[in-house]
Amino acid sequence: MSLLIFFVFLVVIIWAFECFYLRGGRPAAYPAPTDPDSLCVFASGQQSGPQQKAVINTVKELVSQISVAVHNHQLKKARVIFDSISDGRKYVSEFLPTAAGGVPAEWVMAPGAAPDRRVLYIHGGGFIMGCPKSHRTITSKFSEISGCSVLAIDYRLMPEHKHSDCVADCRAAYQWILENGPSGPGKTRQLFVGGDSAGGNLALSLAAWVRDNKLRAPDAVVALSPLTDITFSGASIRQNESTDIMLKPMMGVLNKLPQFIKSWWVVWTYHVRPGNPVASPLLGDLSNLPPTLVQASEAEMLLDDARRYVYKARASGSPAKLQTWAGMVHIWQIFDPHLPQAVEAWREIGKFLAAPVAVK
């Protein structure tokens, strides 16, 4: 009997450690903002049009090739395939290699981009793939619509490096861009931070770090379908599995794991506690943050990561707004100008960046 009691006690201790320390407990729920401008759903009648079908076919083929390479333990091949998403595109921007505080990067400059108006852009790719080349469609468009010089960083990737290395590279690049532009040393007049998916995670985490360390805050942050909670507690992680053709292969596997195993998988993979706000921005203090625009698809698994982040930020007094599109693939903005909804999303980003102080 004493052995049974000891075993039950041990199980309870392990469960409590995982639930309250690793995950930090259940994330609090926040109500939807009442301000109609803070939430906007876009649903055009072209969701099933030829452009959308072409995008879906492109994504399916890309995901299939990457999945095969990853399954065969060919990560380098998977990265090459992922980076090819930008192949064949024509750009108006100029791409200039640089080093941002020791972090490899490139300046992306559309015609007329001002050297003292800057964007720090952090690419997505699940922390294991992606580079400035893979996201040139996004960074070039960012420069076009904002009139800024965009710094796209090539931060260290997992699993060769830890999640903390990804974070450290973003912080180093941010400090560097405050004092350096494409023309050399010089303070920034206007600064934005952007990122998508895993890069959106890093961008939102960076914004909180900048606040806590009393650095010059970005004028605004744009996060495209960000991962904000690596405890993976959002309802859409499961509910949208069947409609998310891009994230399903990886995140669908996680859905099959018990939460206890999932938490330890995060510790093993990311080398960080899943409830740590540095890795899960949703779980941190979201007060006193810069104006933030979050875009997501109603069909993707990270919808609730985006939604809950904005709800909490608004409840914490920070100026944040959420825009969602019906039926889009994860990071559909990268298919500009071929996809009408991507054109629409960039138009909204342009309006947001034109008057970030007006966002309430």
Contact between 334 and 83 under an 8 Å Cβ cutoff? The reply is no
Q: Is 330 a catalytic residue?
A: yes
Among 341, 345, 299, residue whose Cα is nearest residue 322: 345
74: number of Cβ within 10 Å: 14
Residue 84, amino acid: S
Matching residue, tokens 């900048």? 210
Q: Write down the H helix ranges in the chain.
A: 2-16, 50-71, 75-83, 136-146, 163-177, 198-212, 236-239, 248-255, 259-270, 303-315, 340-354
Q: Of the residues 93, 197, 225, 280, which is catalytic?
A: 197
CA 353 to mean position of chain CA atoms: 18
Q: Of the residues 86, 205, 330, 344, which is catalytic?
A: 330
Say which DSSP state 83 is in. H
Whether residue 132 is preceded by a cis peptide bond, meaning omega within 30 degrees of 0, is: no
Give phi and psi for 278, each to the nearest 5: -65, -35
Among 172, 168, 167, residue whose Cα is nearest residue 151: 172
Q: Is 300 a catalytic residue?
A: yes
Matching residue, tokens 């690596």? 230
Q: Is 197 a catalytic residue?
A: yes
Q: Of the residues 236, 300, 318, 344, which is catalytic?
A: 300
Q: Active-site residue numbers?
A: 197, 300, 330
